Structure 1
Amino acid sequence: MTLSVPGRLPTALTVAAAALLTGGTVAWAAPAPATPRAAAAAPDIPVANVKAHLARLQSIATANGGNRAHGRSGNKASLDYVKSKLDAAGFATSVQQFTSSGRTGYNLVADWPGGDTGHVVMTGAHLDSVSAGPGINDDGSGSAATLETALAVSRTGYHPAKHLRFAWWGAEELGMVGSRTYVNGLSAADRSKITAYLNFDMIGSPNPGYFVYDDDPALEKTFQDYFTGLGIATEPETEGDGRSDHAPFKNAGIPVGGLFSGADYIKTAAQATKWGGTSGRAFDRCYHQACDTSANIDDTALDHDSDAVAYAVWTLSS
């Protein structure tokens, strides 16, 4: 006799037993292949949230001598603001101190619990400004988009296959001091675990372009695919090549990628036709100046680029 469970199909063992009892034969079906893990869809990053972080960075600069430069009170206050948001969202945060030009600087690193720690997708931006101004595009824009993407990881309860790590660097304006200190402090084994480092330095320029780092073909394609979906053409990033925090990672053999909306190079007529804006004018006329305030941001570029940050993080870590 066979046991059956009402409302359920017979198991393979039950079918086999019945066939043997009745003199029949058993035809074994191969097990169905495992369903591959589906890539999770990245959430939309609300540009209003990103701009709220920029407003806070602006207010910090205003209250601290007009800047957030290395070794100044505005830099530490910026770090405290970002860290408080990440701590409340459930990240494991750590602060790395270093000294440059006789002043103390800080790196903030935030790890999202879970994921394969042997395969780390890392995203970063620099949190310091020049001493001449508040640095809201350079690089409040990248810092805010990276922060809001990290908060979206927590908000959506994302469970990536790979481990996620986010970082905000100090003293980039002095020659990538913070990121170089971090990379130099990693063991060879820990460096090998970072499968991608994504850098976002200036992504809301007021006369914007859409530039993609071309250092690693796979990472470059990830961003190109996103912008192709929006119908936006991109160009390889050359203006800031080697001049931002991806350089120490690249020099250590870690694959790097990222976005850039332009600094003091001049937008050409062809680029203005492609992206809008004004030809014959710098992508950011306030680059490294006091006028790099919260008014020095193109909301559309900031929106597109912030969403691209999340798209890359989700795509590469699923």
Structure 2
Amino acid sequence: MHPSSSPSRRSSRLRRATAVVGLCAALVGAPAAAAASRAPVVPPVVTAAQVMPHLEALQRIADRDGGNRAHGTRGYRDSVAYVQAALDKAGFRTTLHRFTHDGRTGYNLIADWPGGDADHIVFAGAHLDSVPEGPGINDNGSGSAALLATALEVAKSKLKPQRHLRFGWWGAEEPGMIGSAAYLKDLSPAERKRIDVYLNVDMAGTKDIRNWLVVDDDPAAFAAFDDYFKARNISTIDIGIGGSDHVSFGDAGIPVGGFATGIDDCTHYTCDRIENVDPATETTSTNAFISTVWQLAARH
């Protein structure tokens, strides 16, 4: 038999053993914690039930306000009020940027999500106005709804992006990209320089489409959109900068990305109503936009 140890020596050995166990646990846990912090944030996925109600709201606004949501009309002002109320409730900082076109006051709605590096901004946008001839539910209520659904998912997820997230809904774009150009004109050169990339969504719910039209300018944005669609066996066509709200940003020297689902037979006519939007296409477009915003916001 071995002789018994003294109480003081047993206590000392116990303290050393406890310390060793704690150190080992810390060393094992540290890499796991670091790996967890580096794990990519998985973007949420929405359903038509989360997107289409925004289009239904814009249709109701057009129906009660003269049949359209064009620049300078009550229909457009009510459209802005609807989107702004949803964003304010979700915790965004919203501002109205005013400009004048054709003798009437126009409004761009800007929404900033708190947090992220303000010197590196991911800016997502869509035009909210219609033409005087119709309610503009696909052109571009569909893009505005996809953008709003994306912003609300940011709030719901309590996203903490590396880069600052800003969203914009443009007015008077149908007359020739007036609202977005006015907004950029009022930014200082330093403020424009802080925008790393602008992402645009225009006509997100066209029926019977075969190809999504993806803007090929900013490499990261193009890859994010193109990869999303191709992973789902959806064909794409590369397009340059032209024909939508991102033109103003491109002209200002800001890298741009985005997509559209193409023009339909009701574009700029009274038949561009809620029935003119395919819910499945609208939902696919919205999830593509969410996925890309999540990816680009996580990069520094």
The two structures have a TM-score, normalised by structure 2, of 0.88
Q: Which amino acid aligns with 1:226?
A: Y
Q: Which amino acid aligns with 2:192?
A: R
Q: Which amino acid aligns with 2:235?
A: A
User: Which shows bigger deviation, 208-217 or 35-44?
Assistant: 35-44
* Cα offset, 1:7, TM superposition: 7.8
- Do structure 1's residue 309 and structure 2's residue 294 form an aligned pair? no
Trace 1:146-295 onto structure 2 (pairs within 5 A): 146-208=147-209, 209-237=211-239, 241-263=241-263, 284-295=264-275
Match of 2:48 in 1: 47
SS state at 2:235 partner: coil
Q: 5+ unaligned residues in a row in structure 2: which ranges? A: 1-11, 25-29
* Cα offset, 1:210, TM superposition: 1.0
Q: Which amino acid aligns with 2:274?
A: S
Match of 1:108 in 2: 109
SS state at 1:180 partner: helix
SS state at 2:281 partner: helix
SS state at 2:133 partner: coil
Q: 5+ unaligned residues in a row in structure 1: which ranges? A: 13-30, 264-283
Q: Which amino acid aligns with 2:109?
A: L
Q: Is the 1:133–1:290 contact (alpha carbons within 8 Å) kept by the matching residues of 2?
A: yes
User: Which shows bigger deviation, 245-254 or 77-86?
Assistant: 245-254
**1:244-291 Cα distance to aligned partner (Å, 9 max, x none):** 11011111111100011111xxxxxxxxxxxxxxxxxxxx10010000
Q: Distance in 1 between matches of 2:168 and 2:55?
A: 17
Match of 2:144 in 1: 143
Q: Distance in 2 between matches of 1:65 and 1:38?
A: 50
Q: Distance in 2 between matches of 1:234 and 1:60?
A: 33
Q: Distance in 2 between matches of 1:181 and 1:70?
A: 14
* Cα offset, 1:109, TM superposition: 0.4
Q: Distance in 2 between matches of 1:250 and 1:223?
A: 18
Q: Is the 1:4–1:10 contact (alpha carbons within 8 Å) kept by the matching residues of 2?
A: no
CA RMSD of aligned residues (A): 1.9
Instruction: Using the aligned pairs only, state the percent identity.
Output: 48
SS state at 2:234 partner: coil
Match of 2:4 in 1: none
Q: Which amino acid aligns with 2:146?
A: A
* Cα offset, 1:32, TM superposition: 6.6
Q: Which amino acid aligns with 2:97?
A: Q
* Cα offset, 1:9, TM superposition: 2.3
Post-superposition, which runs of at least 4 consecutive aligned residues in structure 1 deviate over 6 A?
Answer: none
Q: Distance in 1 between matches of 2:287 and 2:20?
A: 45
SS state at 1:210 partner: strand
* Cα offset, 1:10, TM superposition: 5.1
Q: Distance in 1 between matches of 2:154 and 2:140?
A: 21
1:9 maps to which of 21, 27, 34:
21
User: Which shows bigger deviation, 162-171 or 211-220?
Assistant: 211-220
The two structures have a TM-score, normalised by structure 1, of 0.83
Q: Distance in 2 between matches of 1:184 and 1:4?
A: 68
